Amino acid sequence: MYKKGNPYGTHRVIEPKGVLPQPALKLDNTMEIYDNEILINVQTLNIDSASFTQIRDQAGGDEEKIKEIMMGIVAERGKHQNPVTGSGGILIGTVEEIGPALEGKTDLKVGDKVATLVSLSLTPLRLDKITTVRQEIDQVDVEGKAILFESGIYAKLPDDIPENLAMSVLDVAGAPAQTQRWVKEGDTVLVLGGAGKSGLLCLYEAKKKVGPNGKVICLARRDEALNTVKELGLADVLLKADATNAVDVYEKTMEATDGKLCDVVISCVSRPNCEMSAILATKDEGIVYFFSMATSFTKAALGAEGVGKDVNMIVGNGYTKGHADIALQVMREHKGLRDLFTKLYA
């Protein structure tokens, strides 16, 4: 007999009571499902960039230490929510069981391969073992189980894109979809951290939207990364700078835009203290889209106030309607990007 569950998974919250699973400190990660849950046999976790960077730095790059930290997080919290960054990631796995209350409400069936598109920071997870750590792409192969709530979104893995490639793209699917939403024809767009995974997808969508009269600027720290962006034809202007140095970014953006600054700035940098670079590079009444989970709301809000910038600041929502299809379509449309992502992530 299945127990009745809440659509948002509040029945899994152990502490503190009365909150949703994402802000909760501890979830019930026993793998006996409620009537409205889906049990997934987990294959791989794709940890979000800000979280994995922090874990890797804490571990000093030691693989066994990374495993120990991650296992410890799940043991303590019942989910993979980094206590420093607060963020999670996504997983891929195989559907093992579907609660009877979901009959007719889901197109999934037992045996389907899926990527969950809700954060690991709210997903009940039991890790039995971490078998492989791929530090360069923020992924770990595991043995374990996870729960997808009734309200949880997912994507069936496509037949024409390899699993690890699809997972890497779907982890940041909100970024290109939101870029498509906010960028207009003729805009000047700056992507901070443009040579990273989410940044490259944002550059691609921005180039499509701005058209021949717009301008897309990529900012990154390394020459090698900027050369890759140049070879792929994803930006009109390449800026080499450290996104934590707001004054330098501002001056270089002023020069690149003839003093006009940018209509839209997208921050994809996976390290903290990049808020002011994004804000200073934006025109008054322009849009700053903070996709990075390393962003501090406090630093952004008080920082903009402190320099007298009237800009529209948007928190990166990992979910946008149709975001999975938009992100995967990039892999079908741009051979150079697909080849690069395949080399890096698949």
315-339: pLDDT as tens digits: 988 788 899 999 999 999 999 999 9
User: Which candidate, 176, 151, 137, places its Cα nearest to that of 48?
Assistant: 137
**Average per-residue pLDDT for the chain:** 96
pLDDT at 252: 98
Chain segment 221-240, per-residue pLDDT in tens: 999 999 999 999 999 999 99
Half-sphere exposure of 234 (CA within 13 A, CB side): 29
The pLDDT-based confidence of 64 (bands split at 50, 70, 90) is very high
pLDDT at 345: 81
pLDDT surpasses 80 at 243: yes
Q: What are phi and psi of 145, to 5 degrees?
A: -135, 155
pLDDT at 123: 98
Chain segment 110-135, per-residue pLDDT in tens: 999 999 999 999 999 999 999 999 99
Average pLDDT, integer, range 193-197: 94
pLDDT at 293: 83
pLDDT surpasses 80 at 346: no
Half-sphere exposure of 281 (CA within 13 A, CB side): 36
pLDDT at 297: 93
Average pLDDT, integer, range 97-102: 97
pLDDT at 217: 98
Burial category of 25 from C-beta neighbours within 10 Å (exposed 0-12, middle 13-18, buried 19 and up)? middle
Q: What are phi and psi of 133, to 5 degrees?
A: -115, 125
Ranges in the chain annotated CATH 3.40.50.720: 174-345
Question: Phi/psi zone of residue 179: left (φ > 0), alpha (ψ -120 to 50 degrees), beta?
Answer: alpha
Chain segment 256-294, per-residue pLDDT in tens: 999 999 999 999 998 899 999 999 999 999 999 999 888
Chain segment 71-82, per-residue pLDDT in tens: 999 999 999 999
Average pLDDT, integer, range 64-76: 98
Taken in order 277, 278, 280, 281, is the CA torsion positive or negative? positive
pLDDT at 344: 86
pLDDT at 125: 98
The pLDDT-based confidence of 32 (bands split at 50, 70, 90) is very high
Global pTM value: 0.84
3-state helix, strand, coil in the chain (%, to 5): 35, 25, 40
pLDDT at 164: 86
26/40 Cα distance (integer angstroms): 20
Structure tokens at 88: 């999670």
Q: Which range among 7-16, 92-101, 158-167 shows the weakest confidence by mean pLDDT?
A: 158-167
Question: Under CATH, what is the fold of the domain 174-345?
Answer: Rossmann fold (3.40.50)
pLDDT at 55: 97
pLDDT surpasses 80 at 190: yes
| CA-based end-to-end distance of the chain | 41
Structure tokens at 329: 């379509």
